[in-house]
Amino acid sequence: MAKGHRSQIKRERNEKQRDTRPSAKLSYARVSVQKACFVLDAIRGKDVQTALGIVAYNPRYASTLIEKLLKSAIANAENNNGMNVENLFVEECYANKGPTMKRIRPRAQGRAYRIEKRMSHITIVVNER
């Protein structure tokens, strides 16, 4: 049987399983998952210089958010993990569903239609080749 308090045992177990790859996460981004994934699919697996070029010239709104997030992930890799920027590539990038704001749109004959303003949590993980 393990020694120590239950929370200490859990903390030690989670230390071993922690992901040490440099990443950046944007929570509650006001863009739907589907629209964010168009840009994320374009940069997945590319090296960071190519990925920055793709998002800089992409006309979608999500690309401005993802460009800032990608620069943050690169800075995290360089400063926190001491990695070389020339060797970095986008290992993982995904968008998860966030909360949805529900709004009401008045329609004809006293009806009301619901408008759903979706949010997403976007994560980018970079690594060295």
Is 47 a domain residue?
yes
Is 16 a domain residue?
no
Torsions phi, psi of 50, nearest 5? -65, -40
- Given this model, what pLDDT does residue 4 score? 76
Is 5 a domain residue?
no
């990038």: which residue's tokens? 93
Average pLDDT, rounded, for the chain: 91
Domain range for 69 is 21-128
Query: 118: exposed, middle or buried (C-beta count within 10 Å: 0-12, 13-18, 19+)?
Result: middle
Is 7 a domain residue?
no
Q: What is the CATH number of the domain that holds 41?
A: 3.90.470.10
Q: How many domains does one find in the chain? A: 1
Q: For 18-56, b where at least 16 C-beta lie within 10 A, e where not — what string?
A: eeeebbbebeebebbbeebbebbebbbeebbeebbebbe
Q: Pick the range with the lowest mean pLDDT from 1-15, 24-38, 46-60.
A: 1-15
Q: Identify the bridge partners of residue 109 per DSSP, sorted by sequence position.
A: none
Question: Can you give the pTM of this predicted structure?
Answer: 0.81
